Amino acid sequence: MIKVLPRINELAKKVRVSELTEEEKLEQSSLRECYLTIIRGSSKELLLNSTVVDIL
C-alpha cells in the first residue's frame, strides 16, 4: 500500500468538515505530488515490462 494515502485521505476528510491551515494545504499538495509520482512510476514500470503478442 502507498504510505502517503492514509494522510491524504485524512486531510481530504478534514476539508469537508472545516478549512485546512496553510501548513496543511502545503502538506496536502506535497503528498498529492508524491502520490502521483508513485503512480506514474508504477504505470511506467508496468508498460515497460509488458509484451504484446500478435497471434494472427
pLDDT band at 2 (very low <50, low <70, confident <90, very high): confident
All three cell numbers of 46, joined, read 508496468
* Type of residue at 21: T
CA distance 14 to 37: 24
In a domain, 2, yes or no: yes
Range of the domain at 29: 1-12+24-44
Number of domains in the chain: 1
In a domain, 31, yes or no: yes
In a domain, 54, yes or no: no
Q: Select the more confidently predicted residue: 35 or 1.
A: 35
pLDDT per residue over 20-54, tens digit each?
Answer: 999 999 999 999 999 999 999 999 999 999 998 99
pLDDT at 15: 95
Q: Is 51 helix (H, G, I), strand (E, B) or coil?
A: coil
- What is the number of other CB atoms lying within 10 angstroms of the CB of residue 35? 16
pLDDT at 56: 83
In a domain, 7, yes or no: yes
- Whose cell is 486531510? That residue is 11
pLDDT at 1 over 80: no
Q: Is 8 helix (H, G, I), strand (E, B) or coil?
A: helix
